Amino acid sequence: MLSRRYSVDISSINPLSRVPLFVVQRARSVLCSLGSKLSKGLLFTLFFLPFSAFAEYGLNLTEGVTPVSKNIYGLHMLIFWVCVGIGVIVFGVMIYSIIFHRKSRGAKASNFHESTTIELVWTLVPLAILIAIAFPATKVLIDLENTDKADMTVKITGYQWKWQYEYLDNGVSFFSNLSKESNDKRQLGAGGDFPENYLLNVDRRLVLPVDTRIRFLMTSNDVIHSWWVRDLGVKQDANPGFINDAWATIEKPGVYRGQCAELCGKDHGFMPIVVEAKSKEDYAAWVKEQQALQKAAAAAGEREWSKDELMVQGQKVYSTSCAGCHGVTGQGIPGTFPAMAGSAVTTGDIKAHIDIVMNGKAGTAMQAFGGQLNDSDLAAVITYERNAFGNNTGDLVQPSTIKSAR
């Protein structure tokens, strides 16, 4: 598709009409063959990115869909026009002087030092402008910091490298990871086409109702992350040990994408955010559905699981929660993340294995997954690690074992 667009572009570029036809044809054939060779390659994508990016976003800040984002946009435009005004006046005076008071016209430069009047003017005028701008800016700032009178609250916790969303009003809670399609495609040597919204898609979206004043509480489990969704006008650091807040009243149903905006380690670029704003009725139905799913998951933790079930679920959990560090094939990263293949823990004492997965290891990147995964997922992932990557221990861990280890 890209190479087709390229050849169309060439023939419609005007200045080329002055270039001899054979040059155009030669250039076109070279570029087209290059294009087809590289059409799936990085170079070509990079070359076209600026154009498609412009087409999608335009040049200006976007307005977004919340009062805060609209106020920020309004403030941005106001200050933009103030700058335009200053630019026109300053450059106007400058260009006027250059033209009408030039040396060849016999103009004589006036020569003055320590003119109190001029020094006062060029101090007081900018000061007055700054103060005039400070008023609307402060108003917007106070408004975006004021999270009072919220209709509902979502607690957002950053993890290396995913987000946890807890709906404090109805008990719904889940993790949101990079989507499987993006995650598979980003692996070294992965073939195939880029999935839609590559690296900007998640497995579970943060679903929110429209026309509801939502308070976000941001914190982190490990390092500093930053929850940034442009259309919501929210960009707030998530710091371990602190709670920051922000708010949004989403005015339009839709899907709004964002990313972690604070460099937080190896996979910082792989923890996107997807917000889906639904009508209040659809949101209520979604909450019911999630509560039912959570109940079903809890019930599944009460029964015995077969080895196949554990292995299938375990692989899923492993690829979303563990593979980022320990590698899809369990090889880890020598010196940083230990291999799961043939590790003394994954092939040794089962209790020690359960312990490190549930409680993590303080002071290292190994998180305590006991609070993140339910009994079945923990049982499944531990079973998987003990029977995958060539670790043929034959051990099964049941959800009930995890439950009693809590």
Q: Which residues bind ligand HEC (CB under 6 A)?
A: 160, 321-322, 324-326, 337-338, 343-346, 353, 356-357, 361, 364-366, 369, 381, 385
Helix axis angle, 2-12 to 42-57, nearest 10°: 70
d(CA 343, CA 345): 5
Do residues 171 and 291 make contact, with C-beta atoms less than 8 angstroms apart?
yes
Bridge partners of 220, per DSSP, are 158, 240
Nearer to ligand HEC, 209 or 338 (CB): 338
CA distances from 354 to 176, 196, 346 (A): 24, 37, 9
Nearer to ligand HEC, 159 or 167 (CB): 159
Give the per-residue contact string, 218-237, with Cu ion (x = CB under 5 A; - = no): -------x------------
Q: How far is the CB of 267 from Cu ion (least distance, A)?
A: 8
d(CA 202, CA 206): 9
Scored b (16 or more CB within 10 A) or e, 137-158 reads eeebeeebeebeebeebbbbbb
343 binds, among Cu ion, ligand HEC, none (CB under 5 to 8 A by kind): ligand HEC
Nearer to Cu ion, 260 or 317 (CB): 260
Q: How far is the CB of 334 from ligand HEC (least distance, A)?
A: 12
264 binds, among Cu ion, ligand HEC, none (CB under 5 to 8 A by kind): Cu ion
CA distances from 397 to 119, 187, 244, 392 (A): 80, 29, 39, 14
Nearer to ligand HEC, 32 or 356 (CB): 356
d(CA 246, CA 214): 8
Q: How far is the CB of 310 from ligand HEC (least distance, A)?
A: 13
CA distances from 346 to 20, 76, 217, 363 (A): 70, 55, 37, 21
356 binds, among Cu ion, ligand HEC, none (CB under 5 to 8 A by kind): ligand HEC
Choose the binding region for Cu ion from 205-213, 242-250, 258-266, 333-341 (rule: CB under 5 A): 258-266
When asked if residue 264 is in the footprint of Cu ion (CB under 5 A), the reply is yes
Which residue of 150, 208, 246, 260 would you call a contact of Cu ion, by CB under 5 A? 260
260 binds, among Cu ion, ligand HEC, none (CB under 5 to 8 A by kind): Cu ion
Q: Which residues contribute to the site for Cu ion (CB under 5 A)? A: 225, 260, 264
